[in-house]
């Protein structure tokens, strides 16, 4: 018998089906198996036993309560993935696959009726074999006060992580993206979703950004000393680009590290650029004139993508991860990806695919002609020393004695 160290909750209102599924899950080696007959019952079970890896859930025509349960448990960080245990119409299944990531859940797949133990085994194994993101707290019940955020920045609780950008053909690392995680004294590692709005409201974006910029430039300089360039990407918010002194300060910071502007990339989400001010556009132009790279992030998630490409001086497109996750859902996502790659080539822009989580996605993107990618399958976000060790294990620094 397989041994799968997974915690599984079976939510099904039919006693016989529920019992059969529970027995199958246990036969597959999952000893921590719980069951519930209703959404309310399932919530009480989670409150008693704690988080689970997978919910095997029935979404029938009266299953709106189960959707409410999935949303609530995902926001509370109590559920990670979902297996649907009834057959859905193709359009409903496609919509469910789009919805689950928006709720913060991974939809592993669907096991129809009659329930097939081999299909269930494959889905459980796919969860076990996929790279698991670090335990990032999504506990939305953490009340983030302005004072907590100020203290967090002063005391260095805001930590910089780096996620690799990788050439999909030869698997060489082309650069890294700097990301902020809050090492909260009560909530553990907290996602920016929880605290970035407070950071912006408290007008602390620049303080956080320039601390992150220095962390990234320290890493870049370490690699340049050994003859290895490493592009570092940083996220900028549109509100920061309205600051007329922003670019001058970035230029001074680069000069203090004696590093070229060409070694950094600034990523901006397209949705934040819908109403770009004159100051914002001027700062983008100044950054490009300095030699910095500009990347339009989450490309395809808004409605103004093409207009922004024509108006603003970007030289990189980051394709929204939802298109990558939907590769298995039919030809539409492939068509969007192929078109974006062709568009990037015609405009002389680099295209980076975000959110690559599986080997199959990697393989399909290579077939479609995508060269650069980012995601947990290629490399998770890491602290500086963890990243250095990871990079050295792949290709030791020249002159490092290794």
> SS3 sequence, 235-278?
ECCCCHHHCCCHHHHHHHHHHHHCCCHHHEEEEEEHHHHCCCCH
Is there a single domain that holds both residue 216 and residue 360?
yes
Is there a single domain that holds both residue 265 and residue 306?
yes
Q: Which of 96, 129, 162 is the last residue of a domain?
A: 129
Burial string for 99-132 (b: 16+ CB within 10 Å, else e) reads ebeebbbbbbbbbeeeeeeeebbebbebbeebee
Residue 1 inside a domain? The answer is no
Residue 400 inside a domain? The answer is no
Give long-range contacts, CB 8 A cutoff, 24+ apart: 183-186. Answer: 183/157, 183/158, 183/159, 184/137, 184/142, 184/152, 184/157, 185/157, 186/142
Q: Which of 129, 155, 170 is the last residue of a domain?
A: 129
Distance CA 31, CA 327 (A): 33
Is there a single domain that holds both residue 293 and residue 362?
yes
Is there a single domain that holds both residue 84 and residue 164?
no
Is there a single domain that holds both residue 37 and residue 122?
yes
Distance CA 175, CA 219 (A): 11
Residue 2 inside a domain? The answer is no
Chain centroid to CA 381:
9
Residue 194: what pLDDT? 75
Residue 145: what pLDDT? 81
Distance CA 133, CA 8 (A): 18
Average pLDDT of adjacent 10-residue blocks, the chain of 402 residues: 73 84 85 86 86 85 72 84 75 72 81 74 77 43 75 91 95 94 80 81 92 96 87 92 92 96 90 71 92 87 62 88 79 87 91 93 95 94 92 67 41
Instruction: Dump pLDDT digits (tens) for 56-114.
Output: 988 765 556 888 888 888 887 888 889 887 666 666 667 777 778 777 888 888 876 66
Is there a single domain that holds both residue 264 and residue 163?
yes
Half-sphere exposure of 295 (CA within 13 A, CB side): 25
Residue 139 inside a domain? The answer is no
Residue 15 inside a domain? The answer is yes
Structure tokens at 89: 């119409």
Structure tokens at 234: 């940083």
What is the crossing angle of helices 192-201 and 146-154, to 10°? 100
User: 């859902």: which residue's tokens?
Assistant: 329
Structural domain for 57, as ranges: 7-129
Q: What SS3 class is residue 288?
A: helix
Q: What is the dihedral of CA 383, 385, 391, 392, to 10 degrees?
A: -170
Residue 49: what pLDDT? 83
Residue 234 inside a domain? The answer is yes
* Residue numbers annotated as active site: 354
Residue 21: what pLDDT? 87
pTM of structure: 0.67
- Quote the Cα angle for 230-233-237, to 5°: 165
Name the domain count of the chain: 2
Is there a single domain that holds both residue 107 and residue 153?
no
Is there a single domain that holds both residue 71 and residue 164?
no
User: 């085994």: which residue's tokens?
Assistant: 121
Residue 138 inside a domain? The answer is no
Is there a single domain that holds both residue 177 and residue 228?
yes
Distance CA 148, CA 140 (A): 15
Classify the C-alpha dihedral 61-140-296-312 as positive or negative.
Answer: positive
Cβ proximity of 325 and 97 under 8 Å? yes
Q: What CATH number should be reported for the domain holding residue 88?
A: 3.40.50.2300
Q: Which of 75, 95, 129 is the last residue of a domain?
A: 129
Which among 211, 161, 231, 218 is positioned nearest to 390, based on CA atoms? Answer: 161
Write the CA distances from 43 to 68, 99, 302, integer angstroms. Answer: 10, 20, 34
Is there a single domain that holds both residue 124 and residue 165?
no
Residue 154 inside a domain? The answer is yes
Residue 302: what pLDDT? 52
Q: What CATH number should be reported for the domain holding residue 279?
A: 3.20.20.450
Burial string for 176-213 (b: 16+ CB within 10 Å, else e) reads bbbbbbbebeebbebbbebbbebbeeeebbbebbeebb
Residue 70: what pLDDT? 86
Is there a single domain that holds both residue 105 and residue 214?
no
Distance CA 288, CA 315 (A): 9
Structure tokens at 239: 């509100």
Is there a single domain that holds both residue 210 and residue 68?
no
């Amino acid at each position: 018998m397989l041994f799968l160290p997974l915690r599984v909750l079976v939510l099904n209102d039919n006693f016989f089906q529920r019992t059969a599924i529970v027995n199958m899950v246990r036969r597959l080696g999952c000893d921590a198996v719980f069951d519930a007959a209703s959404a309310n019952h399932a919530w009480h079970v989670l409150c008693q036993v704690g988080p689970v890896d997978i919910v095997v859930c029935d979404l029938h025509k009266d299953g709106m309560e189960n959707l409410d349960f999935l949303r609530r448990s995902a926001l509370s960080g109590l559920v990670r993935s979902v297996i649907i245990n009834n057959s859905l119409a193709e359009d409903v299944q496609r919509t469910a696959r789009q919805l689950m990531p928006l709720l913060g859940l991974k939809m592993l797949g669907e096991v129809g009726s009659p329930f097939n133990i081999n299909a269930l085994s494959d889905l459980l194994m796919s969860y076990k074999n996929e790279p698991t993101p670090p335990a990032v707290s999504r506990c939305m019940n953490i009340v983030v006060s302005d004072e907590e955020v100020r203290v967090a920045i002063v005391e260095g609780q805001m930590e910089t992580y780096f996620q690799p950008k990788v050439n999909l053909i030869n698997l060489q690392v082309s650069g890294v993206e700097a990301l902020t995680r809050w090492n909260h004294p009560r909530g553990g590692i907290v996602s920016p979703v929880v605290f970035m709005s407070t950071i912006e409201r408290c007008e602390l974006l620049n303080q956080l950004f320039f601390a992150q910029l220095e962390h990234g430039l320290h890493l870049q300089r370490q690699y340049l000393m050994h003859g290895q360039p490493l592009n570092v990407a940083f996220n900028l918010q549109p509100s920061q680009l309205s600051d007329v002194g922003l670019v001058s300060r970035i230029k001074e910071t680069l000069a203090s590290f004696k590093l070229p502007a060409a070694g950094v990339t600034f990523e901006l989400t397209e949705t934040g650029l819908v109403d770009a001010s004159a100051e914002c556009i001027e700062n983008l132009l100044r950054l490009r004139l300095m030699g910095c790279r500009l990347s339009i992030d989450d490309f395809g998630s808004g409605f103004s993508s093409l207009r922004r490409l024509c108006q603003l001086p970007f030289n990189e497109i980051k394709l929204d991860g939802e298109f990558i996750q939907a590769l298995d859902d039919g030809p539409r996502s492939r068509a969007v990806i192929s078109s974006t790659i062709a568009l990037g080539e015609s405009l002389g822009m680099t295209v980076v695919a975000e959110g690559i989580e599986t080997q199959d996605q990697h393989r399909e993107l290579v077939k479609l002609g995508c060269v650069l990618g980012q995601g947990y399958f290629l490399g998770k976000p890491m602290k500086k020393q963890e990243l250095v060790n990871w990079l050295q294990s792949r290709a030791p620094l020249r002159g490092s004695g290794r």
